[in-house]
């Protein structure tokens, strides 16, 4: 610093003889320009050094990814599946069935929705969302195993001749915790992993949903099919009042579930990410497909619907559809129609697009760091 001060003083007070004022001004200009360049370079170096520190301790600074603190909006669309009493017992029996793969467009159902997400620390977010979709299952998927069954008592055969199906509409609200462990549990030692654009994450939370199971009714005259609501037909005698016989109460069309899943996302730009996720819901209802308990007594059904003959007929047809495969066959009252010991589940696999809402300096949108 002393040398610099002396040099500055020299060039400012420099007064050569022989009319060298032009040289004096030129030398002073060159010196001051060099001094400014030195100062500018020092500032740039300081900023570069700060950037190195910022990269090292990335969690203390912003990074141009969705996981910055604040709100995001997301949209999801994909496919949904039901895991209940109707359909195959084993997972692979469904996906390897020719009845399933042979008409895949008939057998798959979709689900989509949107969500709001708040991120407090990188990799940890809280999501509130809504979804709408349908899930589907049919006993027809057991055909391949039924035709090679060694006994009519084997499960695939019994499921096939039961001949039930269910096409269930679902409206769902959800609260989920989204955790990307490579970011949430990272520090400066794991900075590279934390800042990777491709991130795995897990989901855990709860959902509440409305559902409406429907089944196919075949007109015996025209052979045409139509979907009919199943709950109001009380296919297992729900709500029947008979002396000496206790039937279950009508089930609620509102239920809730514990949800868990995994996903992978790619940060495609500042404030945008694209991902795919799989989410399973373990519900607290066994009537997602309208099958849970046992066949009701035909006589009790006639009494329950004696003043509504059309509904009596529809209820009888939809509760026991085995006769459509085996004419004249009637399942005896009390025979299990479903499995009352296990509740139903449904799942979805979806593509997600998440957009980071920009900070605004008003209200709760303001940046609080």
Segment 246-268, tens digit of pLDDT: 899 999 999 999 999 999 999 88
In this structure, the answer to whether residues 107 and 225 fall within a common structural domain is yes
In this structure, the answer to whether residues 92 and 139 fall within a common structural domain is yes
In this structure, the answer to whether residues 117 and 25 fall within a common structural domain is no
Query: If you average pLDDT over residues 108-118, what whole number do you get?
Result: 96
The helix or strand, by DSSP H or E, that contains position 126, with its residue range, turns out to be: strand 124-138
Angle between helices 2-13 and 21-56 (to 10 degrees): 150
What pLDDT does residue 117 have? Answer: 95
In this structure, the answer to whether residues 228 and 285 fall within a common structural domain is yes
Range of the structural domain that residue 259 is part of: 70-357
In this structure, the answer to whether residues 23 and 135 fall within a common structural domain is no
What pLDDT does residue 42 have? Answer: 42
In this structure, the answer to whether residues 42 and 100 fall within a common structural domain is no
Residue 2 has pLDDT above 50, yes or no: no
Residue 64 lies in a domain: no
Give the confidence band of 232 by pLDDT, cuts at 50, 70, 90. Answer: very high
| Cβ-based neighbours of 175, under 8 Å, separated by 6 or more | 126, 127, 128, 205, 206, 207
Residue 18 lies in a domain: yes
Residue 99 has pLDDT above 60, yes or no: yes
Query: If you average pLDDT over residues 269-278, what whole number do you get?
Result: 88
Query: If you average pLDDT over residues 65-73, what whole number do you get?
Result: 76
Q: List 1's β-bridge partners, or say none.
A: none
Render the burial of 147-171: b for 16+ CB within 10 Å, e for the rest. Answer: eeeeeeeeebbbbbbbbbbbbbbbb
Report d(CA 44, CA 123) in Å as an integer: 32
Residue 320 lies in a domain: yes
Residue 322 lies in a domain: yes
Query: If you average pLDDT over residues 67-88, what whole number do you get?
Result: 92
Spatial contact of 214 and 168, defined as CB atoms under 8 Å apart = yes
Query: If you average pLDDT over residues 199-207, what whole number do you get?
Result: 97
- Owner of token pair 């997301």: 74
What pLDDT does residue 359 have? Answer: 47
Report d(CA 106, CA 100) in Å as an integer: 8
What pLDDT does residue 271 have? Answer: 77
In this structure, the answer to whether residues 255 and 230 fall within a common structural domain is yes
| % of the chain beyond a pLDDT of 70 | 76
- Owner of token pair 């969500």: 115
In this structure, the answer to whether residues 301 and 223 fall within a common structural domain is yes
In this structure, the answer to whether residues 51 and 127 fall within a common structural domain is no
What pLDDT does residue 366 have? Answer: 36
What pLDDT does residue 165 have? Answer: 97
Top-confidence range, 18-22, 70-74, 77-81: 77-81
Spatial contact of 178 and 188, defined as CB atoms under 8 Å apart = no
Torsion sign, CA atoms 191, 192, 194, 195: positive
Residue 8 lies in a domain: yes
In this structure, the answer to whether residues 51 and 158 fall within a common structural domain is no
What pLDDT does residue 191 have? Answer: 62
What pLDDT does residue 362 have? Answer: 34
Residue 137 has pLDDT above 80, yes or no: yes
Pair of tokens at residue 151: 């006994």
What pLDDT does residue 51 have? Answer: 45
User: Hey, is 309 helix, strand or coil?
Assistant: helix
In this structure, the answer to whether residues 243 and 105 fall within a common structural domain is yes
Residue 325 lies in a domain: yes
Between 198 and 17, whose confidence is greater? 198
Residue 278 has pLDDT above 60, yes or no: yes
Residue 366 lies in a domain: no
Report d(CA 365, CA 63) in Å as an integer: 18
Give the confidence band of 203 by pLDDT, cuts at 50, 70, 90. Answer: very high
Query: If you average pLDDT over residues 88-98, what whole number do you get?
Result: 90
Residue 58 has pLDDT above 50, yes or no: no
Question: Distance between alpha carbon 186 and the CA centroid of its chain, in Å?
Answer: 25
Residue 62 has pLDDT above 60, yes or no: no
What is the tally of structural domains in the chain? 2
Spatial contact of 111 and 134, defined as CB atoms under 8 Å apart = yes
Residue 22 has pLDDT above 80, yes or no: no
Report d(CA 193, CA 188) in Å as an integer: 10
What pLDDT does residue 163 have? Answer: 96
Query: If you average pLDDT over residues 12-21, what whole number do you get?
Result: 45
CATH of the domain at 216: 2.40.160.20
User: Per mean pLDDT, which range of 8-22, 111-125, 299-313 is the poorest?
Assistant: 8-22
User: Per mean pLDDT, which range of 43-52, 80-89, 317-326 is the poorest?
Assistant: 43-52
What pLDDT does residue 34 have? Answer: 47
Residue 172 lies in a domain: yes
Residue 30 has pLDDT above 60, yes or no: no
Beta strands in 187-317 (DSSP E): 198-218, 225-229, 241-242, 245-246, 254-269, 272-283
Q: List 280's β-bridge partners, or say none.
A: 260, 347
Report d(CA 42, CA 365) in Å as an integer: 37
Spatial contact of 132 and 112, defined as CB atoms under 8 Å apart = yes
In this structure, the answer to whether residues 91 and 37 fall within a common structural domain is no
Between 118 and 39, whose confidence is greater? 118
Mean pLDDT score of the chain, rounded to an integer?
82
Query: If you average pLDDT over residues 214-235, what whole number do you get?
Result: 94
pLDDT tens by residue, 318-346: 999 999 999 989 999 999 999 999 999 99
């Amino acid at each position: 610093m002393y040398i610099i001060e002396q040099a500055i003083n020299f060039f400012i007070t420099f007064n050569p003889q022989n009319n060298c004022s032009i040289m004096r001004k030129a030398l002073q200009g060159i010196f001051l320009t060099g001094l400014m360049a030195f100062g500018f370079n020092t500032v740039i170096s300081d900023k570069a050094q700060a950037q190195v520190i910022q990269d090292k301790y990335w969690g203390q600074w912003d990074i141009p990814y969705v996981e910055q603190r604040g709100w995001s909006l997301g949209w999801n669309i994909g496919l949904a599946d039901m895991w209940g009493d109707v359909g195959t017992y084993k997972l692979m029996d469904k996906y390897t069935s020719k009845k399933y793969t042979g008409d895949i467009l008939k057998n798959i159902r979709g689900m989509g929705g949107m969500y709001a997400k708040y991120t407090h620390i990188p990799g940890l977010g809280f999501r509130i969302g809504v979804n709408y979709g349908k899930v589907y299952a049919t006993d027809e998927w057991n055909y391949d195993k039924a035709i090679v069954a060694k006994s009519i008592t084997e499960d695939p055969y019994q499921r096939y001749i039961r001949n039930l199906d269910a096409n269930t509409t679902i409206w769902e609200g959800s609260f989920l915790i989204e955790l990307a462990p490579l970011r949430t549990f990272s520090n400066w030692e794991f900075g590279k992993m934390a800042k990777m654009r491709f991130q795995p994450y897990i989901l855990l939370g709860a959902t509440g949903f409305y559902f409406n199971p429907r089944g196919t009714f075949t007109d015996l005259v025209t052979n045409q099919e139509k979907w009919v609501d199943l709950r109001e037909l009380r296919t297992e005698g729900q709500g029947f009042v008979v002396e000496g016989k206790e039937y279950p109460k009508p089930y609620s069309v509102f239920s809730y579930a514990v949800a868990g899943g995994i996903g992978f996302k790619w940060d495609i730009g500042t404030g945008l990410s694209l991902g795919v996720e799989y989410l399973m819901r373990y519900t607290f209802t066994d009537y997602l497909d309208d099958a849970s308990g046992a066949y009701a007594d035909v006589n009790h059904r006639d009494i329950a619907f004696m003043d509504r003959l059309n509904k009596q007929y529809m209820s009888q047809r939809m509760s026991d559809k085995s006769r459509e495969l085996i004419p004249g066959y009637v399942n005896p009252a009390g025979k299990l129609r479903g499995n009352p010991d296990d509740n139903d589940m449904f799942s979805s696999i979806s593509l997600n697009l998440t957009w980071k809402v920009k900070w605004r300096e008003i209200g709760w949108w303001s940046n609080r760091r």
